[in-house]
Amino acid sequence: MIYELRTYTANPGKMAAMQARFRDHTLAIFERHGIKNIGYWTNLIGGRSDELCYIVAFDDLAHRERAWASFGADPEWQRVRRESEADGPLVHHLENRILAPTDFSPLR
């Protein structure tokens, strides 16, 4: 199992809309394409108030590649993204990391 840590920085005034898109649409579309939702967080102390961090899981890198390609081509996702960004993009930028659990990690 591999984990992908993604941090999205919202455009000014777009955090609520970005969270709503994840809550109301993206999580279910992820699951449909084999992207396992692990958790979603905002910064309580430290970091920036305009960041949404989340972790998703895949069997391996090949599974990740197939799942993201399938998700990106999904007509529902394309519609949701287009509609949610009618007043401009929600995400200013994103960072991602692929994490491999250590042999002593409780989450593998």
The pTM score is 0.92
pLDDT in tens, 41-96: 999 999 989 999 999 999 999 999 999 999 999 999 999 999 999 999 999 999 99
**CATH assignment of 2-99?**
3.30.70.100
Helix axes 61-73, 75-84, angle to 10 degrees: 60
pLDDT at 3: 96
State the pLDDT at residue 107: 84
3-class secondary structure, 49: coil
pLDDT for the residue numbered 50 = 95
* 3-state SS assignment for residue 19: helix
Q: What is the per-residue pLDDT for 20?
A: 98
